[in-house]
Amino acid sequence: MLEIKNLHASLEEEDKAILKGVDLTVEAGKVHAIMGPNGSGKSTLSYVLSGKDGYEVTDGTATLEGEDILDMEPEERAAAGLFLAFQYPVEIPGVGNMTFLRTAVNAQRKARGEEEMSATEFLKVVRARARTLNIDAEMLKRPVNVGFSGGEKKRNEILQMAMLEPKMCILDETDSGLDVDAMKLVADGVNALRAEGRGFLVITHYQRLLDHIKPDVVHIMADGRIVKSGGPELALEVENNGYADILAEVA
Ligand code: ADP
Ligand code: MG
Ligand code: MG
């Protein structure tokens, strides 16, 4: 589904290398987790994959179902099936949440040459999916993320993901700032979307999210590279011993 090879990327402004040769393949139907110390480049990887401004890819490739995504505009990547749930969701004053969702869903359908979702169908689907995430009608009417609590913003990211039905979902620290109940809602939302043809890259600083979203593979990222990969037991090792042992081992 997603194949990243030797990916190097720098901050444009400072000419500072952040990603220093990332190799990672996420198969359809699998959940891969990336853990790693703060500042190791996890968010940068998700930004570079989704096409955020300000980064320059200096080497390597990234493909989605065999298609080069690094040359695409962000909206083309989204239409191709890539989705990023932000670590810090952005507030968009003046744009109603429901309008935002419907515009995004229909823009994506249009880009794929599919028919728009009718207003009635959209309402039915968005209400049902919002309900499972404990997002009430009021939150759907408010401007995107404006005045939402940390937990509400993260649940709203998952609602966007549920509505767009991406092929490859990247979640950047969607668990940070969530209490246990909100984290369970987010995990349930993600688990409900797990499917044969869909890949997940779950970035998290802590192991506890992975108690609820069981990963197939766990990677440790440090200083702009994946330095170790393993099964779910790797996350437990981090939980028990921190990153120091693993970093010393691979150094
Ligand atoms: P992580 O998500 O793993 O905590 P980041 O990808 O956010 O790491 O950051 C990786 C490194 O890049 C850090 O050293 C961080 O300070 C630096 N960095 C990221 N974005 C910027 C920026 N816009 N300006 C300066 N430094 C940045
Ligand atoms: Mg960080
Ligand atoms: Mg980050």
pLDDT tens track for 6-28: 999 999 998 899 999 999 999 99
Given a cut of 90, whether residue 87 has pLDDT beyond it is no
**pLDDT > 70: percent of the chain:** 100
SS3 4: strand
Domain extent listing, the chain: 2-181+208-250
pLDDT digits (tens, 9 = 90+) for 103-151: 999 999 998 899 999 999 999 999 999 998 889 889 999 999 999 988 8
**Per-residue pLDDT at 175:** 85
Q: How many angstroms is it from 31 CA to the middle of ligand 3?
A: 19
Chain center to CA of 3: 15
> Average of pLDDT values for 92-98?
96
Confidence of residue 30 (pLDDT cuts 50, 70, 90): very high
Side-chain half-sphere of 155: how many Cα atoms within 13 Å? Answer: 24
**Per-residue pLDDT at 22:** 98
Q: Among 130, 238, 110, 108, which residue's Cα sits nearest to residue 192?
A: 130
pLDDT digits (tens, 9 = 90+) for 151-196: 899 999 999 999 999 999 999 998 888 888 888 988 998 999 999 9
Token digits for 105? Answer: 């869903």
Enter the ipTM. Answer: 0.94
In order, the DSSP letters of 196-224 are TT-EEEEE-SSSTHHHHS--SEEEEEETT
Asked whether 43 lines ligand 1 (CB < 6 A), one says yes
**Which atom belonging to ligand 1 lies closest to the Cα atom of 36?**
3
CATH number at 2-181+208-250: 3.40.50.300
Asked whether 128 lines ligand 1 (CB < 6 A), one says no
> Average of pLDDT values for 217-222?
96
State which of 11, 50, 170, 174 you would mutate to test the pocket of ligand 1, scoring each by most atoms of that ligand within 8 A of its C-beta: 11
> Average of pLDDT values for 73-89?
93
Considering the chain, what is the average pLDDT of its residues?
93
**Per-residue pLDDT at 133:** 87
**Per-residue pLDDT at 205:** 83
**Per-residue pLDDT at 112:** 86
